[in-house]
Amino acid sequence: KQEVTQIPAALSVPEGENLVLNCSFTDSAIYNLQWFRQDPGKGLTSLLLIQSSQREQTSGRLNASLDKSSGRSTLYIAASQPGDSATYLCGVRGGSEKLVFGKGTKLTVNP
Amino acid sequence: SAVISQKPSRDICQRGTSLTIQCQVDSQVTMMFWYRQQPGQSLTLIATANQGSEATYESGFVIDKFPISRPNLTFSTLTVSNMSPEDSSIYLCSARLGMSYNEQFFGPGTRLTVL
């Protein structure tokens, strides 16, 4: 059974700082991995989708990397802004076709 | 991409009643899913909604409690039956356009409070 862990559970940084969020998973037989953000009381917004054959994906200030063999992914956020404050969720899709989620990292960017 | 809408966005219900949540996708999708997010927790998959056949439920979720319909490729409903305060959660509809390597999208969620 796939288990997904996200570290840290919460992170507070000053505006402008670069930061890294971590996601680890126990079963390396995955199709892909998706990073999402969730604002309080809202649904999930897809940020980046990284396929199992890829090493990284970039969108604007966001960069996601994937090391399938070690069961790890990172989400790098450059030059953080207060608008980046949200909970970031990692979802892993394996052979069961289902997305399995970690508990998320709650990010606060202080002006 | 796919844009997903849900109705209602929130509701407050009495114990023992039922609520049906509607999910509409702006394009035809192969896969539709229903998730639950309990307060302070991550997302848990309730079931995969299958067009024209019974939904596929995850361990711990049963059809009598969470009946699901999916009459076509763009619409699904989830009913939360005989509600108790433990059912207070955000319920999210999700969809994927096709193959396993495709991106998955989520609706805005329905915030349910059961008194």
Q: Which residues of chain A have a CB within 8 Å of the CB of B94?
A: 99
CB contact under 8 A, A41 and B106: no
Tokens 């848990």 found at: B44
For residue B67, the one-letter residue type is P
Q: How far is the C-alpha of A18 from the C-alpha of A78, rounded, in Å? A: 4
Residues 6+ apart with CB under 8 A from A105: A6, A7, A8, A9, A10, A11, A21, A22, A87, A88
- Decide if A102 and B105 are in contact by the 8 Å CB cutoff: no
* E strand map for A8-95: 10-14, 19-25, 30-38, 44-51, 56-59, 62-67, 72-77, 86-94
With 0-12 / 13-18 / 19 or more C-beta atoms within 10 angstroms meaning exposed / middle / buried, residue A74 is middle
In chain B, which residues have their Cβ closer than 8 Å to the Cβ of A32? 100-101
Q: Do B101 and A32 touch (CB under 8 A)?
A: yes
Tens digit of each residue's pLDDT (9 = 90 or more) over B17-64: 999 999 999 999 989 999 999 988 889 999 999 888 899 999 999 999
How confident is the prediction along chain A (111 residues), in pLDDT tens digits per residue?
Answer: 899 999 999 999 999 999 999 999 999 999 999 999 999 888 999 999 999 999 999 999 999 999 999 999 999 999 999 999 999 999 999 877 789 999 999 999 999
Q: Chain B: nearest CA to A45, how far in angstroms?
A: 7
Instruction: Please report the sign of the dihedral spanned by the C-alpha atoms of residue B80, residue B93, residue A54, residue A61.
Output: negative
- What residues of chain A lie within 8 A of the CB of B43, using their CB? 44, 89, 91, 99, 101
Q: What's the CA gap between B106 and B71, in Å, rounded?
A: 19
Is B42's CB within 8 Å of A103's CB? yes
* Whether B88 contacts B112, CB under 8 Å: yes
Tokens describing residue A32: 């892909």
A23 in reach of chain B (CB within 8 A): no
